[in-house]
Amino acid sequence: MKDSKLYWVGFNLVKGIGAVRMRTLLAYFGDAQTAWQAPADVLQEAGLGPKVLKNFLKVREGVSLDEVWENIQAQGITVLTWEDEGYPRRLNEIDNPPPVLYLRGQLLEDDSWAVAVVGTRRMTSYGRQVAEEIGYALASSGITVVSGLARGVDAVSHSAALSAGGRTLAVLGSGVDRIYPPEHRDLAEQITANGAVLSDYAVGTPPEGVNFPPRNRIIAALSKAVVVVEAGVQSGALITAAFAAEQGREVFAVPGSMHAPQSKGTNVLIQQGAHIMLDVQDVLEILNLSMINEHRSARTVLPSDATEAKLYEILGAEPLHVDDIRAQSELPINKVSSTLALMELKGMVRQVGGMNYVAVHERGNSYETGE
């Protein structure tokens, strides 16, 4: 029996079929295989326009999905789709997440506690020092460091996280078999062993310039916050920061000299309202991550705390903002925030963006309060 993901991969090869059209096809046909095998006139009825339909038929007639799938398997590449439990939870929170992800390495539930560290390729010695300090300190605190494997700040932050014995994720603007820049192949292998190299671009996709802005959207989405170390006013790091703000993530910027081109972008971010980052503790405190390692150990502890029970009863399937949770619980906001963070680590609740939370109802007996 063929793996159904093979058909998702097929659609991923078609120019013009992204998240919106994929959802339309799945809604119409029920599954990817049925959609892939459908006649042209039925696909047109399902909503594919002439141009996209032409692209699709060209791929379907000219590509052997069996060979594509064998190539993916031979390279040890994992394919994740919306239907997989292992699909990154934070990425799934945003509008129109990529239907297919390719990865080398492994994604863990702990990677939902991640911070992106990004910046210019032409960093100064100051930028290098700061990127090293941030990457190392975050990883030492048990936080996964996310970046884009690019030269400069990205590579330094990945390397620093690895030096700390932590985890790091690299999001590519190419296929995961096309490491760019090529001199970072060894670094990519180290990341694969201690995290993952991932992309929503099909295997074999070259690192073209147009691929990188959409890649930055994924970097932001995988993270609870984005830290911009150094960035010019036209930097891709600012695009990542913009996506982060749009997705309800926190944005931090490292200040620098007003005369340094590499600091113009970060200084502008601060001027526009980004958190000023003077120490890694700034990130940990605002995101309530300072006790991350202790919190993780609590996953095996029964939630017998009355505060947790009260908040869980308030929450349901509909997102509720933390301010509304505070009002209904009549508890101090700092108590609500810290308890929700602990409950999220236990898998009892889920943040769905913009400080809105829902209860995870598929709980087992380990979530019972003994009542």
Q: pLDDT tens track of the chain, all 371 residues?
A: 357 899 999 999 999 999 999 999 999 999 999 999 999 999 999 999 999 999 999 999 999 999 999 999 999 999 999 988 889 988 988 889 999 999 999 999 889 889 999 999 999 999 999 999 999 999 998 899 999 999 999 999 999 999 999 999 999 999 999 999 999 999 999 999 999 999 999 999 999 989 999 999 999 999 999 999 999 888 888 999 898 888 989 899 999 888 888 889 899 999 999 999 998 888 888 877 665 655 555 544 445 578 888 888 888 877 899 999 999 999 999 889 888 888 877 778 888 777 888 887 543 333 333 32
Beta 195-199 vs 168-171: how paired, if at all?
A: parallel
* Element of type H or E holding 197: strand 195-199
**Whole-number Å distance between alpha carbons of 167 and 173:** 20
**Whole-number Å distance between alpha carbons of 141 and 174:** 30
Our CA angle for 340, 98, 7, nearest 5°, is 125
- Kindly report the pTM of this predicted structure: 0.78
pLDDT of amino acid 292: 61
241, 224, 232: which is closest to 127 by C-alpha?
A: 232
The answer to whether 120 and 231 have CB atoms below 8 angstroms apart is yes
CATH 3.40.50.450 correct for 105-286: yes
pLDDT of amino acid 180: 94
116 backbone φψ class: left, alpha, beta (φ>0; ψ -120 to 50): beta
CATH fold label, 297-367: Arc Repressor Mutant, subunit A (1.10.10)
**Whole-number Å distance between alpha carbons of 69 and 203:** 10
* Element of type H or E holding 129: helix 125-140
The answer to whether 266 and 231 have CB atoms below 8 angstroms apart is yes
DSSP string, 59-121: HHHH--HHHHHHHHHHTT-EEEETT-TTS-HHHHTSSS--SEEEEEE---GGGGSEEEEE--S
Cα torsion 313, 143, 218, 246 to 10°: value is 60
The answer to whether 313 and 307 have CB atoms below 8 angstroms apart is no
Distance of CA 172 to the CA centre of its chain: 12
**Distant-in-sequence contacts of 278-284, Cβ < 8 A, 24+ apart:** 280/133, 280/134, 280/137, 280/138, 280/141, 282/252, 283/115, 283/138, 283/225, 283/227, 283/250, 283/252, 284/141
Architecture of domain 1-74: Orthogonal Bundle (1.10)
- The strand order across the sheet containing 349-351 reads 320-321, 356-359, 349-351
What is the length of the chain? 371
Q: How distant, in Å, are the alpha carbons of 126, 133, 139 from that of 117?
A: 15, 11, 11
Rg (CA), the chain: 22
* Element of type H or E holding 22: helix 19-29
* Token pair for 250: 């926190």
pLDDT of amino acid 301: 42
Task: List the beta bridge partners of residue 170.
Answer: 147, 197
**Whole-number Å distance between alpha carbons of 254 and 266:** 6
Cα torsion 343, 312, 223, 260 to 10°: value is -90
Domain boundaries along the sequence of the chain = 1-74, 105-286, 297-367
The answer to whether 253 and 276 have CB atoms below 8 angstroms apart is yes
